[in-house]
Structure 1
Amino acid sequence: MEIKFFIPRWGNRHLSWADFAVKAKGAGYAGVEANLPMLQEEQTEMFDELKKNGLTWIGQHFETAASNFEDYFPEYETRLNALAAAKPILINTQTGKDYFTFEENSKLIELAAEISAATGVTILHETHRGKFSFCAAYTAQFLKKYPDLRITADFSHWCCVSESFLQDQKESLDLAISRSDHFHARVGFPGGPQVNNPAAPEWKEALDFHCEWWDAIVKRHVGLKTPVLTVTCEFGPYPYMPQFPFSKDDVSDLWEANLFMKDFLEERYRGW
């Protein structure tokens, strides 16, 4: 099985698409994870630069922000259809709200499944604070209701929400791992969704817990003979990246944090 590593556009928007694509290619990434730009001019620039550098694209949805379900549903439908029409290798979506009812979030999951079936584009739902998948136990209810529901595993969010390394939620975690077809390599901890530097020895315990979960995802796909597994190294900018007071300088270099994750996991999974 081949594991392909992606870099997010998030945190790199200070770079033009031309510079970002060249930098991503040079660092050894297979592609980028990014939302679909609103302006046609930027879409053209993005796709041209990705193609020029031999990079593939994971479509990311996070923009739907309507606070009530009646407005959220059509906006979500429009955005997913637009992403699917642009033909990414898959769509990673942050879906719903943690305060929508179970039935409302279910309707959004069903809508995404309909769009995926109609367009042939895989749609995965990211485990994410503030969304239907904000914690392990609640997400498990949806996974049990929908046997075909597939997710992007970003368990850093669940560490933050539960204020733990999920030691007491093995059943829900194992279920989530069994449905994970893509994961975000970001290390969270009981106090937040992102450690300040994954290479720092003081965060070894946090990294080890995440590696245990990621290893389980990789082993499962090796067993399934999945041809390609995608991973996005998704350390992000402030407020995910802590800053020093007064100067507001980042505590760590964001690009280097993601590059550490890629190199670390490439070496870890070499030969799997």
Structure 2
Amino acid sequence: EGQLFPQSVDDLAAVLDVISRYGCHHLTLQADVRPRTLAEAARLVEGWQRLAEQVDFPILLETHRYRLTNDLLFTLDLLVQMPDLKLLADLSHYVVGRELPEPGAFEDDEQIRTILRHSWGFHGRVASSEQVQVSVGFPQHQAWVERFTGWWRYGIEDWLARPDAPNSLSFTCELGPPPYAITDANGGEISDRWAEALKLKTLIRQVWESCQR
């Protein structure tokens, strides 16, 4: 996986030759712009899509806070206007950004499923209404673990059913260091991120295998 933080169409054009020389599974764009209108966002995305047609690896727009896709509803409106837009889903940002409740409302889950139907890769972490990254091993977070697992299962099943799905699907266990990771009064992390990443890896492998039965 490659990652870029473009602020313009030219920012992407400048690096594609280098990336093409070495190759990558896909390139993730964290679009470092915050347009106020759909028209402005669409102009940028259309430029990136034209460039994506020139390379042999997917270019995916990540759902992320403080990026073009910061707001869930704005992104959903953009998908209506650009139904062929390919996303990389990091759902944690929408959960904490919109402070989604648990248990959730049907409308919230359907909006997330719409994102998943346009997603071609995943960044995996579990969030809660108030925290962007919570421990998957703590009992108080299990409702959120189950909810994220259900979303990922839906996304994988939808991806598998696509006639144009590539040969492999990327799921990155993306457990970030502080300040993503919660810390105690001394700045120490309150859980073992490596152990949790392995646990998340095992979980998503089980989901992947069950989706193919």
| 1:81–1:257 Cα change, 3 Å | farther
**Percent of pairs identical after alignment?**
24
Deviation, 1:80, is 5.0
Hey, what does 1:33 align to over in structure 2?
Answer: none
Hey, what does 2:132 align to over in structure 1?
Answer: 193
Hey, what does 1:154 align to over in structure 2?
Answer: 90
- For 1:133 and 1:187, the matched residues in 2 are separated by 19
| 1:119–1:76 Cα change, 3 Å | closer
Hey, what does 1:172 align to over in structure 2?
Answer: 111
Secondary structure (helix, strand or coil) at the match of 1:60 reads strand
Deviation, 1:76, is 4.3
- For 2:52 and 2:9, the matched residues in 1 are separated by 16
- For 1:253 and 1:171, the matched residues in 2 are separated by 33
Tell me whether 1:233 sits opposite 2:173 in the alignment: yes
- For 1:187 and 1:61, the matched residues in 2 are separated by 23
Tell me whether 1:78 sits opposite 2:18 in the alignment: no
Amino acid at match of 1:83: I
| 1:264–1:171 Cα change, 3 Å | closer
With the length of structure 2 as denominator, give the TM-score of the two structures.
0.87
Name which structure has the greater RCO, CA cutoff 8 Å, separation 6+.
Answer: 1
Tell me whether 1:210 sits opposite 2:153 in the alignment: no
Deviation, 1:104, is 2.7
Hey, what does 1:60 align to over in structure 2?
Answer: 3
| 1:203–1:80 Cα change, 3 Å | farther
- 1:162-190 deviation per Cα after TM superposition (whole angstroms, max 9, x unaligned): 10156333443222111111111110111
Hey, what does 1:222 align to over in structure 2?
Answer: 160
- For 1:90 and 1:241, the matched residues in 2 are separated by 26
| 1:173–1:268 Cα change, 3 Å | closer
Deviation, 1:267, is 2.5
Tell me whether 1:244 sits opposite 2:184 in the alignment: yes
Hey, what does 1:127 align to over in structure 2?
Answer: 63
| 1:230–1:252 Cα change, 3 Å | same
**Aligned residue pairs, count:** 206
| 1:146–1:96 Cα change, 3 Å | farther
Query: Structure 1 stretches of 5 or more lacking a match?
Result: 1-57, 67-71
- 1:139-198 deviation per Cα after TM superposition (whole angstroms, max 9, x unaligned): 111111112101111110000111015633344322211111111111011112111x11
CA root-mean-square deviation: 2.1
| 1:147–1:85 Cα change, 3 Å | farther
| 1:103–1:80 Cα change, 3 Å | farther
Query: Structure 2 stretches of 5 or more lacking a match?
Result: none
| Cα pair 1:152 1:183 within 8 Å, conserved | yes
| Cα pair 1:163 1:191 within 8 Å, conserved | yes
| Cα pair 1:127 1:155 within 8 Å, conserved | yes
| 1:79–1:244 Cα change, 3 Å | farther
